[in-house]
Amino acid sequence: MDTHPTELELEAIAGDVASAADSGCHGGAERSRAAARAAGNDALIDRYEADYPKGPHDQPQSMCPAFGSLRVGLRMRRVATILSGSACCVYGLTFTSHFYGAKRSVGYVPFNSETLVTGKLYEDIVEAVHTMADPEKFDAVVVTNLCVPTASGIPLKMLPRQIDGVRIVGIDVPGFGVPTHAEAKDVLSGAMLAYARQEAMEGPVLPPRDGLKGTPTVSLVGEMFPADPVVIGGMLAPMGLAAGPTVPVREWRELYSALDCAAVAAIHPFYTAAFREFKAAGRTVVGSAPIGLEGTDAWLLAIGEACGVSPRKIDASRNAMFGAIRAALAQNSVKGRITLSGYEGSELLVGRLLVELGADLRYVGTACPKTPFSQADAEWLADHGVEVRFRTSLEQDLAAFEEFQPDLAIGTTPVVQKAKESATPALYFTNLISARPLMGPAGVASLPGVVSTAIASKDRFLQMQDFFKGVGHCDTAGIWQDVPEDKSGYRAKYARKTQKSQNAVDNGESVGC
């Protein structure tokens, strides 16, 4: 008797799994997590729930989280990437990645209902990995499960550890398990550090491409403007230290150098999996960053003590930076009320810098979670009268904008859009704030120009608002052949919807995606 499921049965089973997983980004997160647990992924879901805790709402409104891990892999030398997920997801991820400058192809393993349920998809992934694992081209191949394969229990942990010397790294980055694309960078960075740490324990590994440094190093965790590691290295030099690799790294061999450090600087505080690997290697992790006057002074002291530097050398570095930053603050300032939000993980650091520059900062919101390594920055901001929100939602950011009526709103795209519609100057955090030097004296000098220029553009926004008054809103939006009609029913319906959303935010309920 044939006990194999029929084609209709396969379609029904796969439909349940795919429906649950595909809805993970659109309100079906609980169903998707339940499917993943039922498929044997209990340990993975438990780990993600511990590493990346949610906020009062289900999930921040952000791009697909896998964008973060995909970008990390695409920026690494001699690393290939294979995605396993729905075709529409893979198309969106690769399109966005190439839009942001990726210059290499992404492998894709397609599936259908039968291959998903019978396990043939896993066999196809294994075949793809063997095809891609060319030691002449690659040091590693990263295989990423998106929502559907994760919910279906496709076991990437069973993939070969290496093929012909090419490392195989399998990760799951489902939208229902990893809240933001920033934290997905940690998923891949943590997996790579774990692999590299095991290699280092087993025997000799490759040295850095530019050779070993003659002094103890401090590994930097978090993506920064390229000048910041150089600035940090200059701060560390008087203490007999050097800046080590920045995680996420750009080449596999940098992972060994990152692990072989005197201490770890948690510049971005949400890299929970990466910090776990550093701690397993016996390294001390230091939070915050050399930001502003007080932040730099406290950070240098903490780093020096973690690395066993003598008090005399620590004080030499602190005194040098204290004088340089104080001089920079005397020449630079920011005047005006500001609200700030973003999803990069450096929002609290920028907030500290703005306060020391003299800005009337009222609110800082970040899509990232609260961690022990962000505690000092959060407390410092609170002591200076700034409202801080972790795992913030778009509704909360917009509510802060409405409440504080800032002279400048720094935030995500929809926050910037809302501000400009209200004739308030606004700056997109990712492209215009975090993509510039922030550390030490360089940060004090680089930030005021763009911020002050934006605040000074208020009159231009008022002119534009007056010119476009009544255009593009509600029933006046779109293309009309005749004069737009006043559809009061639409206005009333939209007003009720807006109020319902605001009530959910006020009550701490789930909102958005």
| Digit-coded pLDDT (tens) for 238-280 | 999 999 999 999 999 999 999 999 999 999 999 999 999 999 9
**Longest CA–CA separation in the chain, Å:** 86
| Digit-coded pLDDT (tens) for 412-437 | 999 999 999 888 999 999 889 988 89
Name which residue leads in pLDDT, 133 or 483.
133
Instruction: Give the CA distances from residue 372 to residues 95, 181, 189, 390, in Å, rounded to whole numbers and listed in that order.
Output: 35, 20, 19, 13
Provide the pLDDT for residue 310: 96
Average pLDDT for residues 325-329, to the nearest whole number?
95
Query: What is the CB neighbour count within 10 angstroms for residue 263?
Result: 23
pTM of the model: 0.85
| Digit-coded pLDDT (tens) for 44-80 | 888 888 888 887 665 556 678 999 999 999 999 999 9
Provide the pLDDT for residue 4: 44
Name which residue leads in pLDDT, 320 or 4.
320
| Digit-coded pLDDT (tens) for 86-99 | 898 899 888 888 77
Contact 505, 396 (CB under 8 A): yes
Residues of the chain with pLDDT > 90, as a percent, come to 62
| Digit-coded pLDDT (tens) for 484-508 | 666 666 666 766 766 666 665 566 5
Q: Is residue 368 predicted with pLDDT exceeding 60?
A: yes
> How high is the mean pLDDT of the chain?
87
The secondary structure of 367-382 as a DSSP string is: SSPP-TTTHHHHHHHH
> Residue 24's pLDDT band (boundaries 50, 70, 90)?
very low
Average pLDDT for residues 216-225, to the nearest whole number?
95
User: What residue type is 508 in one-letter code?
Assistant: G
Provide the pLDDT for residue 215: 92
